[in-house]
Every structure is written in structure tokens, then in C-alpha cells.
Structure 1
Amino acid sequence: MSLMDISKIFSLLQPKEQDEDNEQCQALNNAVSGNDVALLSELLSQEPYRRSINGRSGWGVPVSPLRTAAALGHLGCLELLLEHGAEVDSLDVKAQTPLFTAVSGKHLDCVIALLKAGADPNGSQYNNCSPVLTAAREGDVDVLGELLHFGAEVDVRPKVPDWASNASACSGPLYISAAYGHLDCFKLLLLHGANPNYNCTDENMLVRIKQPKTVLEVCLRYGCGKEYIQLLIDFGADVYLPTLIIDKTTKQNEALGLLLKERVCPKTLMSQTRLAIRRSIPLANKEPAIKSLDIPLIVRNYLNHETAKLI
């Protein structure tokens, strides 16, 4: 795993001299903080301020004007900064990009503007978290949908050193959305190709963990509703993979009943066909590829798990 270079962190934390450039950067940040688009436009019309557009200023953790706009959700200022060449993926000392900050603040309009401007939907490789993980945890399905639409990695997992790896460290967005009870995010991730058997396919993790837990097993053990189990079954989770231990921690409920029923009843031919078609489509193109298929609408909807009950 790549971690942010320590020297870079210290260089970002090191106070800058109170020179003209720093004062200009602070003036830009002040205009953004006040959401004063007119003042910001006036400043950026001057060459000295445009040169400072990617500078950092402020007490404690210095930040760029674009990062400030993303954090506060000031869309007008953010778009103006981008128009004048602000670096879309600039990092703060936490290795957070403006996009990550906008996702954390649930500023959908800013998220869309940054993605359209070319922001990396996966955030920074130096940050231990990612925009997708954050959106899945917060249950922000609209933000999550935009990230996935722009090609974010659907099965991304937190970056941790090898010595800190454990069963929870390998959990991805699908597990997190289930753990926090965000069913809409859970389904959206599956629709974009999230692995329904996630946690049991990482070779490096399997070396260190004797009994990794699938999302299905975790959902059963921690009492997620039957809707989560049904979705995992519909999207092709291996129903024989979880080791079921009927004890005080395993709830005898409808969710467990669904799994046991699936183990003795084979999938219908239609269901197996849907899985085969979806698996043949590249992860990054599932949604547009299915919508562009020259087939009846009712079949396209079935491939997207929208009208299963009507067929």
C-alpha cells in the first residue's frame, strides 16, 4: 500500500512566510468562505491572484480555495475557480481531494461539478478512505450514484498496512452500506457490479484470515433484513459459501429462511440467464450497456432488477 510521503505532509504543515502570494491566496479563501462570487471574480481577473489559485492558506491546516469551496458547498465559487484553472485533484495535508471533501459534506452539486471537471472519482491513492466508502457509510445514494457513473471502483476497500489487516479491514462499500442499514446504496452497488461474495476473493487477505466472512454471512449474523439477503441471492451470491452456525448470535428469522430455501431450490432459468448476461458486461459499462441493448424495455428492466415481480 502507498502511504503519503511524510516529508510531503510536513511541507504542507510548515507555516509559510507572510509574502504577497500568501496574502493573495488568503484573500481568495476569504472570498470563497463568504460565498462572495462577485469578489472572487474580481480577484481572479487579476494575474497575481490567478497565480495563487492553487496556494494554501489559513490557520492550523492550510487549504486551497477550491478545497474551501468544496467543503462549504459554495457551488458558484467552486465553478469559478475551476474555470480559472484550479487544480481539481489538489491534496490537503490529510491527502483529501476537493471531491472527497464535497462527498463528506454531502454537497451533491459540487460533487457533480468536480466530476465533470475531471476529478478522480476514487479520490487520492494516499488517503486511507475513498469517496465511495464515505458515500456508502453516509447512505448518500445520489452522491454514490454519481461516483459510480463516473467510473469509481465499486469494490474499493480501506487502505491499511499489512500488519493491521483483519476481517473488518477487508470490508468494502457493500458491507459498509449493509452495516449502516442503507438498502438503496446496497442495491446500487450491486447494480454496478459489486461482488456479492466480497471478502472471500482477496488472495492476500485469505493468507492472513482463516475464516473470512462474506457479505451474506455478515448480513445474517448481524440481523440485516431479508431485503439484503434477497438482493444478494438475486445478484448471484454463493449461498453455500457461508458457514452457518446456529447459536445465540444467529437470528432465526425470515432472512435465514430465505437462504436455507435457496440452498434446496435451484434458480430459475430466467434468473440464471440474467446473471450470465450481467456478468458478461464490463463493470464500468453495465448501466449504459444494458440501457443500449436492442431488446424490449421489460427485458432491460428485468436485467436491471426493476420488474422481476412482473415477469
Structure 2
Amino acid sequence: MAVAREAAGPQTCRSLTAHYFLRMNASQRDFWTSTARTSAGPNLKEWLREQFCDHPLERCEDTRLHDAAYVGDLQTLRSLLQEESYRSRINEKSVWCCGWLPCTPLRIAATAGHGNCVDFLIRKGAEVDLVDVKGQTALYVAVVNGHLESAQILLEAGADPNGSRHHRSTPVYHASRVGRADILKALIRYGADVDINHQLTADARPSFSRRLTSLVVCPLYISAAYHNLQCFKLLLQAGANPDFNCNGPVNTQEFCRGSPGCVLDAVLRHGCEAAFVSLLVEFGADLNLVKWEPLGPESRSRRKVDPEALQVFREARSVPRTLLSLCRVAVRRALGKRRLRLIPVLPLPDPMKKFLLYE
């Protein structure tokens, strides 16, 4: 390793280290970070800087650009970026005054929610989709920290609304989990995939590609699990699959293990209100995916079932859907979720547009 480091140079080795860090799963990263703490001793911050910063240590002492982004000092940013030496470092990852992981100034400003600084850095040439060593984009950390203004600025600047493929969560997933309907609306408006699977793809070879095939990676599921009804409806309106199940249309193994096999099953198991079931019925969920026989409040595996939600489900199973409802579902499926946003500009009467949009 020492020979390779000497031959490749410190910059190349840092890049390779960061590349392999991105490919680790969560447990591997925790183990690796724990090992790093042991190896680095008390000065972990300097060790991280040595491993992941974009320049050797002797060139990383001046962190004024990153510090200004952290505190939201727009005047200092303006002053510094008048100099070519700082303009050339606008996308540099460095450890700043209060941070442990090397980040770009844009990522730091987005984390803190300084929208004016985010906007200024972008106009000065900051790349919006650069990732940190965790695979997080500036947009993702803005969403995680609940900064709508910063998220909107990044989206307007062309940030990928789905975040990075190197990170196992997405902006849509996080917004759905915490119930930030305002942020979720912005993400959907800029084309976020509401059914996205979390995926790590280091390269094109199948041996290095891993897809997480569990219902819990579905934004629709997580919004229901946390009882965020508004987010749940927004996702369905944007074309989320009401029968989303990575493992197939009917996952009988999940049923046998007592785990939810589809979104409707999960909604009932988690004791969600009747409104969740009603929405799934309206948006065309397949009611036959949920086993009928064991579905009762007395069932041990389903003891959280809301009685009203169960009643709505049973009534929907016993009464055929109206032709009007079936037509709406069929039209939306024919359009596809990518084209649902075009419904408002179709040459149709306004009542029909609202009907197709579930408004």
C-alpha cells in the first residue's frame, strides 16, 4: 500500500479512498470509521482531512471560504471570490471550522440553510451535484435539514431531484418520512421519481451492483408508516405505484413471515387511518393483493389494524369500482407518471383535468 501511495501520489490515493468509501454499506462504513478513530488517535479531524480533502494538508489551512459558507457570511464570500485563487477552489472539499467531513462550500451553505449564499455560490460556478464522502448532495442535506428555500434554489439550478446514486436515501424518501409536504411538492415539480429504488451502482458490472429489494425503500410506504397523509396523497397524485412491491406483484413469502407484502397490506398493519385505505382504493390499488382470510383485528400479526380502515377495505372488496373510477385509473396509467404533469396543459375542460389530477 505504501508503494502504491508513493507511486500514485497523495491526491490519487485520497480519491481512491473516497471512491471505496462510497461503495461501502452502512455497517462497513461504521466499522471503517471506528477503525479510523483508533488509527488516527485523538486527532480524527486531521486524519479525515488528510484522507479526503482535495489538496495536501499544507494547502488546506485556509478555510475562510468554507467558514463563510457555514455562518452565512455573504459579504465575505463576495470578497473572497473576487480573487482567482478562491474562485478556483469553489468546488474544493475541505474540513472547515465546525465540520468533521470534508465538504464543498455549497454543501456547507445548503446544510445550514443559507439560501442567499447557496444562490451566490451557484452563480459563481459551484457544481450543484457534487457529493461528499457519504454520497450526499447539497440538495439532499438541504432537504434533511428542512431548508425549503435552499432546496428550491438548488432545484432551479438543475440539481438532480433524486439525489445521488451513491447514497441509499433520496430527497423524496426523506421528505416523505418526516412529513415535509412543502419540500415534497417542490421535488415532484422538478421531476423527482416517486417510486425510486435505492440503488448503489459503482460500475456497470452486475457483481458491483446492488438493489435493495424491500418494501421499506418505497417513499409511499414510509409516508404511511409515519402517518403522513398529505405526503401519501401527493405521492399518489404524482403517479406513485399504489401496488409498489420490489419483490413482485404478490409476495407470498412476506405474508407467511408476517411482513407486509404491498403498500395496502402495510397501511393496514401499521394501523393507518381509514383515509389511507380510501386513497389507495381511489388510485386503483389491487385489493386482491391482501389476503382476506386472516385479515381481522383479532389476528396477532395484524393487531394494529384500525377498525375503520378495515371496514373501508372490506366494503371496497365487496363493491365493484365504478366505471368512472376505472376510466380515471386507466387514463393515468396510459399516460404514465412522467406525463401526468402535462395534464394541466391538455385541451380538456377544467373539471376533467381536476378529475384526472384527483383535485
TM-score (norm 2): 0.76
Q: CA deviation at 1:31?
A: 1.2
Question: Structure 1 residue 193 and structure 2 residue 254: aligned?
Answer: no
Partner of 2:128: 88
* Distance in 2 between residues matched to 1:82 and 1:185, nearest whole Å: 29
How many residues align? The count is 298
Question: Structure 1 residue 19 and structure 2 residue 65: aligned?
Answer: no
Question: Superposed, which structure 2 residues align to 1:47-66 within 5 Å?
Answer: 47-58=84-95, 60-66=100-106
Q: Which amino acid is the alignment partner of residue 242 of structure 2?
A: P
* Distance in 2 between residues matched to 1:131 and 1:290, nearest whole Å: 25
Change over 3 Å in CA distance of 1:101–1:49 after alignment to 2: same
8 A contact 1:216–1:232 mirrored in 2: yes
Question: Structure 1 residue 298 and structure 2 residue 351: aligned?
Answer: yes
Q: CA deviation at 1:102?
A: 0.4
Q: CA deviation at 1:163?
A: 9.2
Q: Equivalent residue of 2:154, what SS?
A: helix
8 A contact 1:166–1:209 mirrored in 2: no
Change over 3 Å in CA distance of 1:74–1:165 after alignment to 2: closer
Question: Structure 1 residue 224 and structure 2 residue 272: aligned?
Answer: yes
Partner of 1:157: 197
* Distance in 2 between residues matched to 1:163 and 1:293, nearest whole Å: 40
Task: Report which stretch shifted further, 274-283 or 83-92.
Answer: 274-283
* Distance in 2 between residues matched to 1:221 and 1:12, nearest whole Å: 49
Change over 3 Å in CA distance of 1:54–1:167 after alignment to 2: closer
Q: Equivalent residue of 1:19, what SS?
A: helix
Change over 3 Å in CA distance of 1:164–1:51 after alignment to 2: closer
2:115 to 50, 55, 75: 75
Higher relative contact order, structure no. (Cα contacts within 8 Å, ≥ 6 residues apart):
1
Partner of 1:43: 80
Question: Superposed, which structure 2 residues align to 1:1-311 within 5 Å?
Answer: 5-6=19-20, 13-14=51-52, 16-20=55-59, 22-24=60-62, 26-58=63-95, 60-159=100-199, 167-169=214-216, 171-199=217-245, 202-203=247-248, 213-244=261-292, 245=294, 246=296, 247-248=299-300, 249-250=302-303, 251=305, 253-287=307-341, 289-306=342-359
8 A contact 2:65–2:105 mirrored in 1: yes
Change over 3 Å in CA distance of 1:65–1:125 after alignment to 2: same
Q: CA deviation at 1:166?
A: 6.7
List alignment gaps of at least 5 residues for structure 2: 1-17, 24-47, 201-207
8 A contact 1:55–1:64 mirrored in 2: yes
8 A contact 2:130–2:138 mirrored in 1: yes
Deviation sequence 1:248-298 (CA, Å, 0-9, x none): 4343612111111112211111111111111121312212x2111222222
Task: Report which stretch shifted further, 225-234 or 120-129.
Answer: 120-129
Change over 3 Å in CA distance of 1:204–1:117 after alignment to 2: same
8 A contact 1:167–1:209 mirrored in 2: no
Q: CA deviation at 1:12?
A: 8.0
* Distance in 2 between residues matched to 1:229 and 1:210, nearest whole Å: 19
Partner of 1:309: none
Alignment identity in percent?
A: 37
* Distance in 2 between residues matched to 1:8 and 1:237, nearest whole Å: 37
List alignment gaps of at least 5 residues for structure 1: 307-311
Q: CA deviation at 1:60?
A: 2.6
